[in-house]
Amino acid sequence: MMKVKIYVTLRESVLDPQGTAVKSSLHAMNYHEVQDVRIGKYLEVTIAPSDRPIDEVVREMCEKLLANTVIEDFEYEVEEAITQ
């Protein structure tokens, strides 16, 4: 079993209204040192071994379902082999 950590972020050029709202809240709470906030998704996916390479499987899942590649980028790390 492999644990894969996937980070999905909005592309640089895409506005992030959720991040802007959080930044405003932090400023209202007197955290004026905060310059910018960008919000994305973080997924932990546990994958059993199959006959296909894990990189191929993860990349395909991200492109088809987990990220909208028009406006989002994704990165991932294959974290650990969990012994059964």
In the complex, which residues of this chain contact its own copies (CB under 8 A)?
Answer: 1, 7-9, 19, 22, 25-26, 29, 31, 33-50, 57, 61, 64-66
CA–CA gap between residue 15 and residue 8 (Å, rounded): 15
Distances (CA, A) of 72 to 12, 23, 36, 57, 69: 9, 20, 18, 19, 5
Cβ proximity to its own copies, 34 vs 81, nearer residue: 34
Cβ proximity to its own copies, 48 vs 70, nearer residue: 48
- Minimum CB separation from its own copies for residue 54, in Å? 9
- Minimum CB separation from its own copies for residue 52, in Å? 8
Cβ proximity to its own copies, 50 vs 83, nearer residue: 50
Q: Which of 5, 1, 38, 40 is nearest to 21 (CA)?
A: 38
CA–CA gap between residue 61 and residue 83 (Å, rounded): 24
- Minimum CB separation from its own copies for residue 70, in Å? 19
